[in-house]
Amino acid sequence: MANRHLARTIALQTLYEWDFNKQQGNVAELLKRNIAEFAPEFDDQQFSENLVKKVIEYLPHLDTVIREYAPEWPLEQITVVDRNVLRIGIYELQHDKDIPPKVAINESIELAKTFGGPSSGKFINGV
């Protein structure tokens, strides 16, 4: 698995757990544990840390964008995986100028296909 894809996967796992637990708990500790458990030799830890931090920082804006572009899907009804894949993708598209838009979109679709349900990739691509 490429480093940046692995970094996004770890960020998604961390955001998923944090969101699933009603955004409670120390997200930095969750991230540290996920890196130790799933990628102990991981050398791009800073990318995951920054991604998680920035998604949480921009959370109100990201959720507003999701509501705008998926009006028929209340945020609370979108699965936790899909909701956080969208947050990561939208953050990278709108706020991380180092990530080409095509990469942000493709990575989001791949994360959704890997961790979401059967139609998650299509849903993410549609939003």
Of 81, 87, 51, 53, nearest to 69 by C-alpha is 87
Cα 55 from Cα 92, distance rounded (Å): 9
Cα 4 from Cα 8, distance rounded (Å): 6
Q: What is the pLDDT of residue 42?
A: 87
Q: What is the pLDDT of residue 1?
A: 58
Structure tokens at 52: 């998680």
Instruction: Give the number of domains in the chain.
Output: 1
**CATH code at 64?**
1.10.940.10
Q: H-type helices in the chain, by residue range?
A: 3-20, 27-38, 45-57, 59-69, 80-95, 101-115, 120-126
Q: Per-residue confidence of the chain (127 residues) as pLDDT tens digits? A: 579 999 999 999 999 999 999 998 899 999 999 999 988 888 889 999 999 999 999 999 999 999 999 999 999 999 999 999 999 999 999 999 999 999 999 999 999 999 999 999 999 999 9
Q: What is the pLDDT of residue 43?
A: 86
**85 Cβ contact list (under 8 Å, min separation 6):** 12, 108, 111, 112, 115, 116, 120, 124
Domain with 63 in it: 3-126
Structure tokens at 24: 């409670």
